[in-house]
Amino acid sequence: MNNPLESARQQLVNIQAILQINPNIFERLLYPDRMIEVAIPVKMDDGTTKIFTGYRSQHNNARGPYKGGIRFHPGVTREEVMALSMWMTWKTAVVDIPLGGGKGGVVVDAKGLSDQELEALSRGYMRAIYPLVGKNRDVPAPDVSTDARTMGWMLDEYEMLPGECSPGVITGKPLSIGGSLGRDYATAQGAFYVLERAAAKLHLGKESTIAIQGFGNGGCHLAHMLEKSGYRVVAIADSKSTVYRSAGLDVKEVDEHKRVTGTLKTCIGCEKLPSEAVLSLPADILVPAALENAIHRENAEAVQAKIIVEIANGPTTPEAEEILLGKGVTVVPDILANAGGVVVSYFEQVQNAINYFWTETDINVKLKEKMETAIDAVWNEKERYNTSVRMGAYALAVKRVAQAMQDRGRG
Ligand code: NAD
């Protein structure tokens, strides 16, 4: 199974078998509240007009405004965006922030666009979804191939129409226009706190070895944090290859080389392997930080790690997870492990609302507390229902969302 929406729905079906929440609420949670498709015309540099397809899925707002990133990727589909919006609902609930779940995407290879075309596309997307977004309605943020610069253009476009400042409408903004310190690496920072807590629960220490699939915003920041704190990062993969060194890689060197050349470097004692090899190399902890469905039925058996910490959204298919659980692998799910980004997005909104900005230390202290509280609560649920960590996280999240739906009379 590799349709992310089927995976997302299957996970909800699985937890419903344990929780037995109100069936009317369960039924509603299988679908987004609203899903829109937009056509975005962009005047290309060669003078032609190209139409790009974009989506915004608003899954649930029972606990607060819809919240979720915008992905620019050629593989974006309607189903993928719907699945990602559902995962956002659970994510904001797991870390207990007053937000719901949404997600956006545009079918585009952003690397093939000039800066002007990318800006026109970002502004066009915001214009197209303008009636649906707002700081109390739906709050977008960056995701794959979008960043602070893209958010800056989108905020500017949003504010131009009513002619008033509204920084809380979008998060992951540049610092100069209301962004938060620590937001650029928050997903990795949150994953780091969760990874450390999970490793401690399983009695794994700093001698643990780590393999990371994906060397972008999430994977690269995490690799640096882990190395700095004493772990051995033995494998790193991007979409083209894996570099592996059992004694540990020099993350700074790998990063610098990738920035300059766009490729992963082979160093002394390193092996350069196919991209997918990263999943099956000897490492105690595996961090998928690329795209969904990376670990599936055909490759799950080969995974050697004891813990998987999912920075990517939906990197493990339900079938793969069954195989992994059978092998005794602990999978720390995306909705917990990668929630650091949305937590700091929430902090960004709070700072925008009070118009007062916290220090980087303030942010990271608050983030650590949120992430550790969340993983402990998830572990309690896992033990209460004698289930996996993912199902523990789902139990916590779905009960919280269902309670909010019930309290609103949406049952
Ligand atoms: P990114 O675009 O910065 O980086 C993605 C990385 O994955 C790149 O290094 C790319 O080369 C690599 N990659 C792509 N396909 C691959 C493949 N088949 N094998 C190996 N590597 C591959 O994206 P990101 O922001 O780091 O996001 C990565 C994942 O984390 C996504 O699933 C995203 O939804 C999730 N996530 C990101 C954030 C965030 O704040 N950035 C927050 C939550 C979740």
Tell me, what CATH number does 258's domain have? 3.40.50.720
pLDDT surpassing 70 at residue 41: yes
Residue 20 CA to ligand 1 center (angstroms) comes to 34
Residue 189 CA to ligand 1 center (angstroms) comes to 15
Angle (nearest 5°) at CA 62 between 190 and 102: 55
Domain that holds residue 75: 33-92+99-179
Written as six digits, the tokens of 219 are 């994977």
Residue 62: what pLDDT?
A: 98
* 322 part of a folded domain: yes
User: How many other C-beta atoms are found inside a 10 Å radius of the C-beta of residue 33?
Assistant: 17
363 contacts 181 by C-beta, under 8 angstroms: yes
Task: Report the percentage of the chain scoring pLDDT > 70.
Answer: 100
Average pLDDT rounded to a whole number, residues 259-267:
86
Please, which pLDDT band fits residue 48 given cuts at 50, 70 and 90?
A: very high
Residue 144 CA to ligand 1 center (angstroms) comes to 6
- CB distance 178 to ligand 1 below 6 Å: no
* 10 part of a folded domain: no
Q: Whose CA is nearest to atom 3 of ligand 1?
A: 216
Q: Does 201 lie in the same domain as 166? A: no
Q: Whose CA is nearest to atom 31 of ligand 1?
A: 312
Q: What is the pTM of this model?
A: 0.94
Residue 36 CA to ligand 1 center (angstroms) comes to 24
Strands ordered across the beta sheet of 271-274? 271-274, 241-244, 232-237, 209-213, 285-288, 307-309, 330-332
CATH of the domain at 126: 3.40.50.10860
The domain boundary residue, chosen from 337, 354, 376: 337
- CB distance 291 to ligand 1 below 6 Å: yes
**Rounded Cα–Cα distance for residues 112 and 122 (Å):** 14
Q: Does 195 lie in the same domain as 59? A: no
> For tokens 């995701």, what's the residue?
143
Written as six digits, the tokens of 331 are 């999978």
Which tens digits make up the pLDDT trace of 141-172?
A: 999 899 999 999 999 999 998 899 999 999 99
User: What residue ranges in 108-213 does DSSP mark as E strands?
Assistant: 138-142, 209-213
**Rounded Cα–Cα distance for residues 29 and 13 (Å):** 10
DSSP collapsed to 3 states, 357-400: CCCHHHHHHHHHHHHHHHHHHHHHHHHHCCCCHHHHHHHHHHHH
- CB distance 237 to ligand 1 below 6 Å: yes
pLDDT surpassing 80 at residue 1: no
Could you tell me if residue 355 is left (phi over 0), alpha (psi between -120 and 50 degrees) or otherwise beta?
left
* 205 part of a folded domain: yes
Q: Does 156 lie in the same domain as 194? A: no
- CB distance 184 to ligand 1 below 6 Å: no
Angle (deg, nearest 10), helices 148-160 and 115-129: 50
- CB distance 405 to ligand 1 below 6 Å: no
Residue 31: what pLDDT?
A: 98
Q: CA nearest 82: which of 155, 23, 157, 12? A: 12
